[in-house]
Structure formats: C-alpha cells, structure tokens
Amino acid sequence: MARPRTTSDEAILEAAARALGRLGPGRLTLGVVAQEAGLAPATLVQRFGSKRGLLLALAGRSGPGARGYFDRAREEHAAPLEILKAALAGMAGNVRTPEEMANGLAFLQLDLTDPEFREHAAAHARTVADEIGALLERAAADGDLAPGTDTAALARSVQITYNGALILWALAGDGDLAAVLLTDLDRLLAPYRPA
C-alpha cells in the first residue's frame, strides 16, 4: 500500500517557483527544491521524474495561474479597467528584485528554445491576451473607453506595456514595480478614456 502524500504537488510547485526566482533554471536543482519544500529529493524524482519534468509541470501552471490573477481581481473590483490594473499588478508582484526578473528571463529562454516549454508559454500569453481583451471590450461597452476604440489593438499595446515595464524596471531598478507598471498603464490608457 502506497504511503499518503503529505505535501501536494501544488505545494512543491510553489516551492519550485520560489527557488526558481532566487536561482534561475541553470542553478536550480532538485535538492534545492526538495529543501525548499521540506522533502527528500527522491520524492521529487518519484513525482516529476527529473528537473526537466518539474520545470515542465511548473510551466504548465502558467496559463491557469495567469487566469487566477484576473479572477481574484474580479472579486475585488467591479470596473473592468480596475480589474485589469489589479490583475497585472498582481502578476508583476511576483517579481521583487531585478535578479528575480533576470531569473525569469532565463526561464523564458527555455520557453523560446524548447517546444514543450514554448507550448506552455504560448498558452500563458494567449490567456493574458484574452483576459485583457475581454476587459477592454467590457470597458468600451460600459463607456469607460472612448467610442470607436480598437480594443483588440489596445489589448496588444497593454500586453506589450506590461512586459516592457517589467524589463525596463529590472534595468533601472527604480521604485516599486507595481507602481511603475500602473503609471505606465495609466499613461497608455489616458488617450482612450472619454473626455
């Protein structure tokens, strides 16, 4: 009879995400993740097979994880543009230092060069794009955006602004990332707001 699992896969993946943020994929080991999760490395091998398997499982959470930020923002806000800003600020809240951003970019290299990782990264990008687009369409319908706003084009600009703000903040290292991002989003959206 198999022993019951005392630590969920979700808890292990949370531990892996924390360790990945500190170390990046190159320096990450199953031993580090096991220590972070309070488990033996053999447990990780049993559950995920390898470091690659663990990282793929972590990457597989990115699309649903992104949707979760938008769902939580909907619970706290009613206006679509406030939901948008809260969700994107929440996603940016995972990055606390330029080093963590660099480690995230190192993971992005896997996303860009390995087809299995790329599939998960593309799903994440589509999820974020779909959520942004739906919120902007709702904002336009509610009169929070000027009549005739091309919400599809604006959604792409919002997503580019989000990603660009992360990179520029990591390079400059100035201020709170969420505050920087929200300032950039407000600047982007201002010309589309009704007079």
Locate 184 and state its tokens.
């950039």
Locate 96 and state its tokens.
């606390």
Residue from 81, 82, 83, 61 nearest 72 by CA: 83
Per-residue b or e along 26-37, where b marks 16 or more CB atoms closer than 10 Å to that residue's CB: eebebebbbebb
pLDDT single digits (tens) 37-73: 999 999 999 999 999 999 999 999 888 889 999 999 9
% of residues, the chain, pLDDT over 90: 75
**CA–CA separation, 29 vs 46, rounded Å?**
15
Averaged pLDDT for residues 5-24 = 88
Neighbours of 164 (CB within 10 A): 13
Neighbours of 45 (CB within 10 A): 15
Domains within the chain, CATH numbers bracketed: 9-58 (1.10.10.60), 61-192 (1.10.357.10)
pLDDT single digits (tens) 138-169: 999 999 999 999 999 999 999 999 999 999 99
Locate 169 and state its tokens.
């903040």
**CA–CA separation, 138 vs 132, rounded Å?**
10
pLDDT at residue 1 in the model: 43
Residue 3 vs residue 160, higher pLDDT: 160
